[in-house]
Chains A and B, each alone.
Chain A
């Protein structure tokens, strides 16, 4: 049944639960799809060789009458930043080639317990540093809408896997937009939860005060279903919040009725309305906002004067934290070891290993972070960036006194060509202009597809942000807009994606 792969996770889950489709059939359909198209897309770094056996076990448990989770038997793609006991975890880096973790990341463990079937590990920029997946040590992923273009980053593999119907659900991580920007450029849904809402245990750390794990899917409801599986307190992550969370899937289902839009106060950021946004991104965004207004939402312009400093603050805080986190790749306990010619001390071995094992962007950011933290510069750079963080939080606080959600384009442009920005790190960094503020403040953000830019026919997403802990609000609003747009269009946006030839 080839249309298995076209189903949403929610639809597939229903047919699994009614035993119309078996977990083995669902898994095989997706493995076949991966075999057919991933040579072109390169979303996966590793495809599981035992997913079918895991699916068989789900079918057996269901046949035995066991009560299984709502998503039991649904295949899942896992970003390679998340460690897994049964598949290698490299975080897109040569330094971790072949690394087999002795434990599962908490989100992976929870997904397994809920009966999801991990299909494989998805490609990413090395250690999640990038916005195009071109910094992967294993070659770039291609955008399923146009194979000559980037799928976003760092989680381009997860977004492309979902957009290319290689998996209905994927896990991502978002430090400055790595879930939301790939969603934007691939016409898919990506959610960065409130900082601390989802466990980071077993996520190979990039910048610990910014990293957050979240769902990558084709619909808002599917994201909510996966969020419900992976979210909640984890004693193994000391930044994990102890909150009791409402069901995000229930919020999405409630949102689809559209009631939430009546009287909803939507904030538009004045500072994000000038130049720097592609015309088609801007026009689709404006139309989506008009749709919200037509359903009774109230649009209010808000000012966030410090957002213009967010990218700068981010590129001080992230490298500083990354340079510290990546110090663990010391050639002693795990990962690559390179012997300098004629041998050497442990420090010389370490330096030779890190020179050989890290790619150019990782080196760039480690050196930048080392600079920002070094004596004499700390106050001017890292210290100042932390103050900007306070100012951005204050901008959010002031805005959320006036509005329920903030809406922005999810990124300034549609998918650019592979190679286009690779030689210009600063241009690459500006991709995350609208997504970075949420990470600095710890608030949740979701990207929902809203249409294609007229000039290039490529997907555009809208980002909604809400106060910390109000993740459910984003599912309500996101599902409301998604339903509105799908109804107006008569079909989903992703169904317009070009067919992939494959074999």
Chain B
């Protein structure tokens, strides 16, 4: 059995910034438990002598000249913002009262 508990799911949801409801935490605990049990078989063959692959086709760093290219205008960058003011994205308070 995996170690997926409702407390762990709630912690992960907080890390992922998703305000899950209690019923979602319950169902995800069961589902994730089953999924993790099934996929942890990767550990059977992932021995120390096998190097990790992060990218399917090996590429070295891609550089370009440090010149201004085609960029979005301020209007374009802001056109989908839920709220903006003075050419900036507008958000609510960064810190809450308890902070």
Contact = CB atoms under 8 A, between A and B. Distances in A.
B57 A194 contact: yes
B94 A333 contact: no
A309 B50 CA distance: 14
Contacts of B56: 195, 209-210, 389, 393, 439-443, 468
B24 interface: yes
Which of A323, A383, A389, A443 has the most CB atoms of chain B within a 10 A radius of its CB? A389
A371 B36 contact: yes
Contacts of B4: 371
A383 B46 contact: yes
Contact of A344 (B17, B41, B52, B96): B96
B39 to A, nearest CB: 4
A355 B19 contact: yes
B9 A331 contact: no
Interface string B37-63: 011111111110011111111010010
B50 A103 contact: no
B85 interface: no
A390 B41 contact: no
Interface string A211-252: 000000000000000000000000100110100000000000
Chain A's interface size range is 35 or more
A121 interface: no
Contacts of B1: none
Which of B51, B64, B80 has the most CB atoms of chain A within a 10 A radius of its CB? B80
Interface of A: 99-100, 102-103, 194-196, 209-210, 235, 238-239, 241, 306, 309, 311-313, 315-316, 323, 327, 330-337, 339-340, 343-352, 354-355, 358, 360, 363-364, 366-368, 370-371, 374, 380-381, 383-391, 393, 425-426, 439-443, 468
Given A386-B54, A393-B53, A425-B34, 15 more contacts: A100-B80, A102-B76, A103-B72, A196-B57, A209-B56, A239-B59, A312-B41, A334-B81, A337-B82, A348-B19, A370-B12, A381-B42, A389-B52, A426-B34, A441-B56
